[in-house]
Structure formats: C-alpha cells, structure tokens
Structure 1
Amino acid sequence: HSVFRAIQKRFAVNNGCSFPQPGCRPIFGRFRPDIAGVCHPFITCANRLLADNKTLHFFLNLSSSSVSYDVPLLQSLFESESPILDNELCGVIEQKTSRRPTCVSFRVLIPLDLDECPYAIFLSTGTHSHPPPPPTKPPQIILDEILDLMKRMRNPDLTLSTFLRSPQLKEFCQRYDGKELSQIHYSFVNQDKLSALTTKIRALLFPQGRDFNGVVFERQRNVKYQTYVRRIFAENDCIMIICGFDQQIQFLASLSSFEVDMSYKRVKGAFNEVIFATFLPDHNKVFTLLRVFINQETAESYRLLFQQVFSLISEVCGRPVEFHYLHNSGIKAVVVDMDAKQMSGLGHYLQSLDPLCRPWTWQLKNVIIFCHVHFKRTITRLLGSDMDLGSEEPYHSPWFRMKSLLSCESEDDYYHLIALLQDNESSEIVQWAEHKKHPVIAAGLNKSCSLMNPTFFESTRNITNAVEQSHYKSYWMGVYDSLLGATLGSFTIDQRDIDQYNARVAFGVYHNSRDNSLETRYYNHLGNESTQPVS
C-alpha cells in the first residue's frame, strides 16, 4: 500500500515523469521471460512504452531493488486502478537500526477495521546477535520529580554544579537508596540532560532573565519581594536597587552611628553591593541595615545613593533624617574607609542639607570617622609587614611612627608628625603622608583634627568590621551571582538577621551558644596563657 500510494501521489501532482505529458499514468508490467523462464515485474509510465526517449518517464524495476515487494498485491492495485487512500492505516514497523543483517526484524500488521477484526499480527524473524542497547532515557516519573525539585529550589543561578551539590538532591537520592543520580538510573551518567533541564527551569521561572530586567519582573509579580526591594532608581545611566525590610530601616533611623562599605565580589557584572551595617554589643551580633546594588562608582553616584537611602528612611519612618551637627539630634557619626569617591558623595549630600551650604569638606569633618583597620592596612601594604602583630622593636620602626598619627593629642601635633615623616622617611612614606595631610582624612583619623564632639568620636566604633562581616555572610550565599540571585539571597540573609534579633529581644535566645560573658572571657584567657610555650 505504501508503494502504491507514493507512486499514485507523484503522478497526481504531475511529478511522476521528468516532463509530464497527457496520458502519463503508472501501470504494472512484466519483462519477457529470462533464461530461467521468470517474467520480472516493473512499474512504469504508460507513455514510456511508445516514447523515443524512455529516460524521461517513470520506471521502477521491482526485482532489482533490495527491498522486498508484495508483487501480487501491487499488480492487483494497479490493474484495478484503486483510488488513493486518504490515510495510511496499515502500519509496518521494521527494525533498520541493527548493524548486523542477521538481527531480528519486527512487523506488526493491523487490520483496517478493528471492529470487525479486533486483532493484530506481530511477526518476529531472525536471531539477536548483539547485547541489548544501554538505557538512554530515565523513567518519566523520575524526570518529573527532578523537574519539580528544581522548580521548588527557585534558584536563578541554578547550574548543573549547584544542583548536584544541593542538599535537596541528596535527600531525593536517599529516597531511591542511592547517593548519586547515576546510582538511581544509568542514563544519568551522561549529565548533558541535567544541564539542559537546569537551563530550561531558569528560562521558565525567570523569563525576563537574571539581571536588571529580571529584578523588575520579579518585583512586579512577587509581593514578598516587593517588601524587600524597596526602591529602584535610575538617572543618567546610574541604576541602583535599594533593599531592606521596614524593621531594618527603622532600626537604622534610631542609631547614632553606622558603617558603610562596598563589596566587589557579590554580583557578577556591572553592579556592586553597598552595605549599611552596625554591631549590637548587647546581642554580640552584626546586624545588616540596608543594601544598595549600584552599577557605578563615582562621587556623583554616591551622592545619589545617600540621597535615595535617606529619602527612603524618611518615607518609612515618617520623619526627616537628622544629623546631630546640623540639627542637634540624630546621626552623630558615619564610619567608612578612605575612599575618595564615597567621601565626596557623602559630603555633597550633607552640603545639600545644610541651610548655610558650607563646603562639603566642612560637613565631613563634623560627621566622618575612618576605619583604623583600613588605615593600618595602608601601612602594611606600603612597608610589607605588620608590626602591630608583634616585633622585637616596634617603637623604633617606621610602622609605629606612621601609626602614631592616630594618637596625636592635638591638631598641631598631627600635622607636625606629618611634616617629620615627609622630611625623614622614604619617598613612598612621603607620598603616604601627603594623603594623610588632607583636612578630611585628618579629621576622620584623629579626634583632635575633627569638628565632631570628642565624646562622640571616642564612643563610636572606629572600625568597619561589622559591614565587612556582613559581606562575608553574603558570600555564604554565593559570590559573583546574578543580580536577581544576589537580591533573593540577601532577602534570606536579612530575614534571618531580623528573626535572630527578635528572638533575642522577645525570648532572650542568642543566635549562637557561645558564652561571651566577662567571666568566660577571663577563664578563656587563662587557658590560652597556660598553652603558650615557655621561652
């Protein structure tokens, strides 16, 4: 039927002969008897028999082909001029993928009218001469469970590696008495299928991608995400995404000081993360206050950042943010490292709040404190050693002389020490001292050079360890993540911070079991002393 149908179709669309002519139609015929007396069958065009150029007309020799034809059936079909069947209902399944001709072939004969003859004939001929093929496809039920597992993870940065290392997958394998997917089904030895599934899941769950557009889309459809991603700001190619819960923002507004620092390893691409954080002595815990993902690092972008952050704080708290040196209440100090762009941005923002519009450097001298750890690191990078960790003669080293800028008792002593360093030390130290000579740098390092109330300066932590610890907590969720993945991971981390804080306030439960009391520290110190080697 298949051969008859195919030839009839060719002639029906005038594609049977090279140059179709009136009267072209397929007919069944036989050659004259050969020496053995056999008349071999063929199918040809009716016009070919009388044509001068016979190659222009259709011809098929049924006996020379390697295919076995049902010649009597074809003869009856062509001679009776049966109509073309609308549907091919006779299904023939033949095994053609075996590499050996002696392999088994299968045929299934299904009747046209299953109501009249509700049976099918299955024919198997030959002998299997090779082992069965290895399994190439896992059971569908396992695939469905793996897809469901990936969907429930909702990880925009899901890759084959992260999936194989996930605790969810280990739990799934244990249900099937295995440790790895390859122990559940041999087809999972080839991991390309799993890699394709992770790509598929990312595209289905996050159709707008994992960068800025993905964040905007997730914020539109996810109500909980909206309570965390508070503001998306864009101006002059500067884009920032401000993240924080109400409780974090309200807590930030109640503080007299906080720390600010930027991380360069959190997000892959153009965006970096700026964190506002503080240390809670009563809780012995670092608390993240706010996160800003920003795609620029200029003085103007920092000015916009502080403007948007304090505007959001005012919006959430219902009152404007105040600074003590301007309003006699509110924020007393901001602890940062010595980044020039960050300083300039904060100073120009504070200048916009000042009714007298005094210089931005004056604003900073009233509010800024620089991290002493970063200050000491600049000395260590310059000299190549950290004398603060121990030295035979620390008081007679350049390291100690440079560090003494922090302990000068007056502004005159500070600048006099700068002059001595520039007159007597190496050229590298001279350049270093020139930088520390800047009025804003001096004010942030030494209380005698600052316009801040000395009591405020002394009571404020002069390190940014809290914000650096917040960076490390974020790295626990991953480094160089996508922008969407970083914000979703921060959502989880900051919610945990709030839960730990509330549990401590409401029930007195610490976030860890370590006893940090004075008595415990005293006995720990005695124990450490007893283990020191005797010189």
Structure 2
Amino acid sequence: TFIVNPRVQEFCSQFGGKDLWEVHQSLANMDRISAIIYKQRMLHAAAGQSIAGVAAKWELERLTMNDPYIKDFFWDGKNLIVICFFKTQVEVLSRSKTFQVDMGFKRIKDSNIKEVLFATYQPEIEKRKFKCFFTFLRVFVNQESTRMYYEVFKRVFTLLRDVYHLPIAWNYLSGSGFQAVIMDMDTKQCPGLGMYLASIDERRRPWQEHIKHIVIYCQVHLMRGIQETTSDDDWTPESINQQMLDLVNCQSKEDYEDMCEEFEGILNILGMY
C-alpha cells in the first residue's frame, strides 16, 4: 500500500521524518482521529494488513515468542496457507477421537480469503440454545479446491507430528487415533482428505476407499436442505422431515433407494417435488 511504499519511506527519511506529516504540515491531510488510527496501525502492523503483513508478523513472532499463534505460513505468489493455533489447542486435538472440518467466510473481510476450521462440538458445556464448539486450529487460504484441502491436511498433520511431536494416527489404519472426521458433503473436502490419507497409506489404496472408513457427513446442511424442500419445521418422529433424515441410517444401497422412491411419491402428492 501507499503508506508502506519503500519510496515514500525513503522520501520521509531524507527529510528526517517517519511519516509524511512529519516532513511538512501540508502533507497532513488526515484529521486527528484518523492520524491516531493510522499511527496505531503502523505500530501494530508495520508491513500492512495484507498477506505481507501476515508474513512479517509470522517471521517476527516465531523468533520472539515461545508459542506464537501463527504456526505456519506458505505463500508462493498464488497459493496462500496460514495455519494458526496455540499448542494447548492441538494437544486436545491429538487426544480426541473425532473432529469436524468446516469452511467459514463470515469472519474474514477479504472476500478472497477463506477460513478452514478444525473444531469439535462440546455438548457438556452447551449453554441455553447456543451450541459450544471448541476450536483446535484455523487455516486461512485464498482458494477452495481439492488440491488446496490436500495441502492443508498434509501441512497440518505433518506439522503436528514432526514439529510438535503429537501422536497423530488414524484408527482404521493403525488401530488407534482418530476414528472419524465430520465434514460437509463437499466435492472438494472429502477428496482432499482422501488424497492425504492415501499418501500415508502403505497399501496405497485409492482415496475413495479411505473416505468410507473415516468420514461422517455433517447432518446440519442435510437438515437445512430438507426443511427448505418441505417448508416445514416439524421434526417429530412421524414428520416427513424426520423420516427423510432417517435416510442417513440406511444400512444398504437397496434400503436407501427404496426410501428415496417412497419419499419421491410422498413429495409428489404434497406438490413438493
């Protein structure tokens, strides 16, 4: 940005100032409040608040702090991966049997940056109507693709294993460790995880095989889809909503197809299909 442009800084230093308004009063085109905000931003993020600012913060904190929040930074000019956590968070993750992966957008001002959240639901500390999630780590990326998810899983679990020496294992592969990963029915997340697991599998089975053993699809989005289809908020055992949700309990492909045909007929009668 303009305020951290090397030529602007060089110009200021030539005249004994750090900022334009210190060079000459006529260059101070901001009111006092804006000037204070500007100064604080420069103190806390001298390299700016974009990718360059994150890189500078990562470089500084990993040299000066025992447990910096930014644990890994990757930027090749096109692909961005920033992994953030505190050690105590991932220690809890390493002892967990399951975790959830979700893509978030709401917390990020830059529409090009997305947040991948590793977390778990904690029903024992749920308060009132608000569900409590414990966050293990956050990964900030600038794209959403199968390859990106593969790189995220690879970098996260390699970091936890090799740098923090945490026992990262997968129950269906080694008999201990993670038993399930909860994620959306996403065409990028699942293949990305499957590709990572295939890369550490001595038998080199295809990624689709790994997904069968480890992934549990999140029912929240399925429930939303059902409710949007039926326009009904009734979830009693006899309701059409709950009966459709029971599809997840089918034990065979044949049972699933039979139930789908039954629901198709019901929805046709109700004028919903």
Where 2:109 maps in the other structure, the secondary structure is coil
User: 1:313 is matched with which residue: 160, 166, 175?
Assistant: 160
1:348 maps to which residue?
195
1:364 maps to which residue?
211
1:232 maps to which residue?
73
2:119 maps to which residue?
277
Letter in 2 for 1:405: L
Rg (Cα) greater in structure: 1
How many correspondences in the alignment? Answer: 235
Identity of aligned residues (%): 35
Q: CA deviation at 1:325?
A: 0.7
Letter in 2 for 1:258: F
Letter in 2 for 1:344: P
Whether the 8 Å CA contact 2:67–2:86 is kept in 1: the answer is no
Is 1:418 aligned to 2:253, yes or no? no
Q: CA deviation at 1:343?
A: 1.3
Runs of 5+ in structure 2 lacking a partner?
1-29, 127-131
Between the aligned partners of 2:212 and 2:77, the Cα distance in structure 1 is: 30
Relative to structure 1, is the Cα distance of residues 387 and 396 closer, same or farther in structure 2, using a 3 angstrom cutoff? Answer: closer
Listed one character per residue, the Cα deviations across residues 326-352 of structure 1 (whole Å, up to 9, x for unaligned) are 111111000112222111211111111
User: 1:327 is matched with which residue: 174, 198, 205?
Assistant: 174
Higher mean displacement: 341-350 or 198-207: 198-207
Between the aligned partners of 2:77 and 2:199, the Cα distance in structure 1 is: 20
Between the aligned partners of 1:301 and 1:265, the Cα distance in structure 2 is: 20
Q: Could you state the TM-score of these two structures normalised by the residue count of structure 2?
A: 0.75
Q: CA deviation at 1:403?
A: 2.0
Relative to structure 1, is the Cα distance of residues 234 and 205 closer, same or farther in structure 2, using a 3 angstrom cutoff? Answer: closer
Q: CA deviation at 1:384?
A: 2.5
Whether the 8 Å CA contact 1:278–1:287 is kept in 2: the answer is yes
Listed one character per residue, the Cα deviations across residues 391-430 of structure 1 (whole Å, up to 9, x for unaligned) are xxx7364x3442221343555322321243456644x977
Relative to structure 1, is the Cα distance of residues 333 and 214 closer, same or farther in structure 2, using a 3 angstrom cutoff? Answer: same
Where 2:65 maps in the other structure, the secondary structure is helix
Listed one character per residue, the Cα deviations across residues 37-85 of structure 1 (whole Å, up to 9, x for unaligned) are xxxxxxxxxxxxxxxxxxxxxxxxxxxxxxxxxxxxxxxxxxxxxxxxx
Between the aligned partners of 2:56 and 2:67, the Cα distance in structure 1 is: 11
Between the aligned partners of 2:85 and 2:123, the Cα distance in structure 1 is: 22
2:20 maps to which residue?
none
Whether the 8 Å CA contact 1:244–1:291 is kept in 2: the answer is yes
Relative to structure 1, is the Cα distance of residues 358 and 418 closer, same or farther in structure 2, using a 3 angstrom cutoff? Answer: farther
Relative to structure 1, is the Cα distance of residues 286 and 337 closer, same or farther in structure 2, using a 3 angstrom cutoff? Answer: same
Letter in 1 for 2:176: S
1:403 maps to which residue?
245
Relative to structure 1, is the Cα distance of residues 215 and 275 closer, same or farther in structure 2, using a 3 angstrom cutoff? Answer: same
1:174 maps to which residue?
none
Letter in 1 for 2:186: D
Relative to structure 1, is the Cα distance of residues 344 and 353 closer, same or farther in structure 2, using a 3 angstrom cutoff? Answer: same
Where 2:148 maps in the other structure, the secondary structure is helix
Whether the 8 Å CA contact 2:104–2:115 is kept in 1: the answer is yes
Listed one character per residue, the Cα deviations across residues 447-494 of structure 1 (whole Å, up to 9, x for unaligned) are xxxxxxxxxxxxxxxxxxxxxxxxxxxxxxxxxxxxxxxxxxxxxxxx
Between the aligned partners of 1:305 and 1:387, the Cα distance in structure 2 is: 39
Is 1:296 aligned to 2:143, yes or no? yes
Between the aligned partners of 2:124 and 2:233, the Cα distance in structure 1 is: 32
Letter in 2 for 1:290: L
1:20 maps to which residue?
none
Between the aligned partners of 1:345 and 1:208, the Cα distance in structure 2 is: 33
Whether the 8 Å CA contact 2:58–2:71 is kept in 1: the answer is no
Letter in 1 for 2:48: G
Is 1:257 aligned to 2:98, yes or no? yes
Listed one character per residue, the Cα deviations across residues 98-146 of structure 1 (whole Å, up to 9, x for unaligned) are xxxxxxxxxxxxxxxxxxxxxxxxxxxxxxxxxxxxxxxxxxxxxxxxx
Q: CA deviation at 1:227?
A: 2.1
1:207 maps to which residue?
46
Letter in 2 for 1:416: D
Between the aligned partners of 1:204 and 1:336, the Cα distance in structure 2 is: 40
1:186 maps to which residue?
none
Listed one character per residue, the Cα deviations across residues 253-283 of structure 1 (whole Å, up to 9, x for unaligned) are 1111111111101111121111111244666
Relative to structure 1, is the Cα distance of residues 306 and 396 closer, same or farther in structure 2, using a 3 angstrom cutoff? Answer: closer
1:430-445 correspondence runs (5 A): none
Where 1:340 maps in the other structure, the secondary structure is coil
Between the aligned partners of 1:237 and 1:408, the Cα distance in structure 2 is: 43
Where 2:188 maps in the other structure, the secondary structure is helix
Higher mean displacement: 301-310 or 270-279: 270-279
Q: Could you state the TM-score of these two structures normalised by the residue count of structure 1?
A: 0.40
Relative to structure 1, is the Cα distance of residues 198 and 324 closer, same or farther in structure 2, using a 3 angstrom cutoff? Answer: same
Runs of 5+ in structure 1 lacking a partner?
1-190, 431-535
Where 2:181 maps in the other structure, the secondary structure is strand
Where 1:348 maps in the other structure, the secondary structure is helix
Whether the 8 Å CA contact 2:184–2:221 is kept in 1: the answer is yes
Where 1:386 maps in the other structure, the secondary structure is coil
Higher mean displacement: 306-315 or 407-416: 407-416
